[in-house]
A and B are shown apart, each in its own frame.
Chain A
Amino acid sequence: MPNFYTDNRDLAFIMEHLIDWDALIAMKERIGEDSDCPYGSVEEARTTYLEMLRDPVGELAANRFAPRAAEVDEQGCRLENGRVILSEPTERNLKDLRDAQLMGMTIPRRYGGLQFPETVYTAAIEVVSQADASLMNFFGLQGGIAETIAEFADESLKEQYLPRMSTGEFTGAMALTEPDAGSDLAAVQTRAKEPEGATATQDPVTGLWKISGTKRFITNGCGDVILVLARSEDPAKKGGGRGLSFFLVEKNPCVTVRRIEHKMGIHGVPTCELAFDECPAYLIGTRGMGLARYTAWLMLAARLAIGAQAQGIAQAALVEALKYADEREQFGRPIRQFAQVAAMLSNMRMYTEASRALLYKTCEIVDLHQGAEARGLREEAKRYGRMAEALTPIAKYYATEIANRVCYDAIQIHGGNGYMKEYPVERLYRDVRITNIYEGTSQIQINWALPRLLRGDLDALIDEEMNRSVADPEIAEQRGRVREPLALLRESQQFLQNADPEYRELVAPHLVDMWVDVYVCLLLLRQSEKWDYKKTVAHRFIDLMLPRVRMNREYVGHSHLIELNPKA
């Protein structure tokens, strides 16, 4: 029987050989200290994580979700009398996830969850997305939403909602975007009215706020637990982002789904326009921190999840392309044997592995950050926190852009057949297209990452890899080849320190690409120490990356915006 975890050798390799479980588990679990800790040793925890990825996650994905994916895509969702109706196969997928007790993968054990690290959850999201990208929007966003509640909400709210999110009885939605506030969330207009009589209270029973306004493009907006960003402060006194707070709304008649969008892809999940009319809501955390703190936190989690979604779609496209290129014969031989096709396939595989390397490195850092925070290790928490904030947008950007490219090439390899609905690549191509748009476009991710890169938040990561002692001369030699691009990168970082902000933004994609190219090489070289095959991957990547980094250095130094306007 196929299994989307064990069949994905690269993912299984990263999970088994690359993640530093010792460090990660030491931070996230208190083995022998916490009475509810179910593990007797680090090894036992690690085995449990990986076993869980095999069964139920990999089993379900390969044998239940994947076979239903075409039907899910075809049927989509409907809106009937204000009620969102999911497709029947999607309902079955959700039931399977609930039955397998997977809906609370990262929720703390005391609220009925599995309390797994983000690294394991992200791998599960990749595996599920490979089977059905749209299912990820239920499964993969649940974590971020629940974690936001677990992190910032009152104990009573946690007790009220988290156990039911763990069982999957409740699914979540995040209502941030509005018709006029997309990337610019500081422009949010939805109003939150203070509870009458009481002043800013957080008591969930007596202190219900009232929310009114319209939210748009809300994934799974018909979910049961909706986190809403709304304006709680007087715009005259505290305008912009500082006037926004974060609220929890439980599905009720005051929230109506006005319409669901007709989308290009991810048909299995409804994208809703929500109208809130004097809707009771619980405040989460502190007033005025809605955007800066809680949305930022939620977005980081969601971005990692979307990166994993893209990674899973890329894996699916790669598998389809390899299969097709083997089977399809033209001019008397399989098309895989033709040089251009072979090169495309190798690149698809290489970039898929490159983005996966970065994605799971990011997960590790995020886990170490969360662990340090939970343990009150302030120094480490700060260090890992800065890394996580810089790495997450880059990983999301890279994974989603690569996945788009891989799906594009997968169609190309299928030729005319790939353009037809009969082959799954057509669906994958539509599904993947949203990933570099939602939860922040690639451009937003780059803008988020740039100042952090210039501040040097990620320099230590590169230094750590450059300074590792390497026994294998072949790997050492390849690493020597990274010195030149690294110097160019550092030079460019330096060059932009004092550049005009407009100019910085213009060349930011080039700098981020340089950084990714350099760091990914190093990650692939590190993988080579554990798996010989990876030497060829790293070698190929370095060959292709060297001229690209030189080119990007040129662009960083010598770009100017010439706007083209034929009417001028």
Chain B
Amino acid sequence: MSCNCVVIVREVWDTRDLIGSILDEAGHIKPGALQTRFEPEDLNALEVALRIKDQQGGKITAIAVGAPRGVEVLRECLYRGADAAVQVDADASVLDDRALSVLLAAAVKKTDAPDLVLTGTSVVDGENAMLGAMLAAELAWDHVAWVDAVEAVAGGQAVVKRAIEMGYETVQTPLPSVISIGVALLEDDPRSPRPAKAMLKLKMKKTPIPVLTPAELGVADPAALVTTRVTRRESVPPRVIESRQVDPEDVAALKTMLNEVLKGK
């Protein structure tokens, strides 16, 4: 049975290995202080969709909200094997997950009969962590979050493996459903999603990506849908860790270390 998937992808701030303050005096993020990257769990979601397609066929449509320059991730999806991409033309930087979910739900409905909508669950800090759940609520579909693997799609149901505290659950969810993928311990080790395909990249680099405007999605003013506003941002003073290297060959240094850490015990 072929399975049509929609994958919601986002370009997000790369918050790893930040050096120095990323805010200006006014508490805004300094331009150029942060790079963006393909949201890693969204990339996992795409990989899950591609594996479903590899195994049982179907069409993959990638959807992203943003200005044309903010949705290069869509082309990255095409290079990896997605069949179509749709850009929802709205300024994602001023929208919250709730507003995004309304736009995306309308865009998903315009995609012909998807069986699954896949996206990343969250990043650890919580930024963009609500999209899958809110999208499912808006579509009135079932939702399963923290999914590590989609094990089967058949008979109008998908069977997925979800990570929970202290273990896993196997969940059966009816089609269509929204599935949010977690850090995804993909079977391939190292755990990295597939890279681009060279021939596809050559072919797809100029493929026009269809655009949907908020008006076409029945939303007059996306900003009016926003439920949370950022009222203040401040830098957190970096934690200074006194760190030092201990030579494993140096028994005296190891001893000093143990004495220090076990002091008073």
Contact = CB atoms under 8 A, between A and B. Distances in A.
Please determine whether chains A and B interact with each other in the same assembly: yes
Interface of A: 1, 38, 40, 44, 48, 51-52, 55-56, 59-60, 63-64, 67, 92, 96, 99-102, 105, 112, 114, 327, 329-330
A101 B197 contact: yes
A63 B192 contact: yes
A40 B206 contact: yes
Contacts of B194: 96, 99-100
A114 B198 contact: yes
Contacts of A51: 201, 205
B35 to A, nearest CB: 12
Interface in B190-241: 190, 192, 194-203, 205-206
Contacts of B79: 55
Contacts of A44: 205
B190 A48 contact: no
For chain B, what secondary structure do more than half of its interface residues adopt (helix, strand, loop), or is it mixed?
loop
Nearest to B194: A99
Contact of A64 (B192, B198, B199, B200): B192
Nearest to A333: B245
Contacts of B195: 55-56, 59-60, 63, 100
B242 interface: no
Q: Give the interface centre of A40, A44, A100, A114 by most chain B CB atoms within 10 Å.
A: A100
B247 interface: yes
Contacts of B198: 52, 56, 100-102, 105, 114
Given A100-B196, A100-B197, A64 B202 contact: no
A329 B168 CA distance: 43
Nearest to B190: A67
Given A55-B76, A114-B202, 12 more contacts: A38-B203, A38-B205, A44-B205, A48-B202, A52-B202, A55-B196, A56-B196, A56-B198, A63-B195, A99-B194, A100-B197, A330-B247
A44 B206 CA distance: 10
Contacts of B206: 40
A329 B190 contact: no
The 3 closest A-B pairs by CB, nearest first: A56-B195, A59-B195, A101-B198
Contacts of A102: 198
A87 to B, nearest CB: 15
Interface string B82-100: 0000000000000000000
Contacts of A38: 202-203, 205
Given A38-B202, A52-B201, A114-B198, A327 B245 contact: yes
A63 B192 CA distance: 7
A63 B47 CA distance: 15
B220 to A, nearest CB: 38
13 contacts: A1-B192, A38-B203, A51-B205, A52-B196, A55-B79, A59-B192, A59-B196, A67-B189, A99-B197, A100-B195, A100-B198, A105-B198, A114-B198
Nearest to A105: B198
A114 B199 CA distance: 7
B229 to A, nearest CB: 33
A143 to B, nearest CB: 14
B73 to A, nearest CB: 12
A562 to B, nearest CB: 48
Given A1-B192, A100-B195, A48 B201 contact: yes
B245 A64 contact: no
A112 B202 CA distance: 12
Contacts of A100: 194-198
A551 to B, nearest CB: 41
Nearest to B247: A329
B51 to A, nearest CB: 12
Contacts of A64: 188, 190, 192
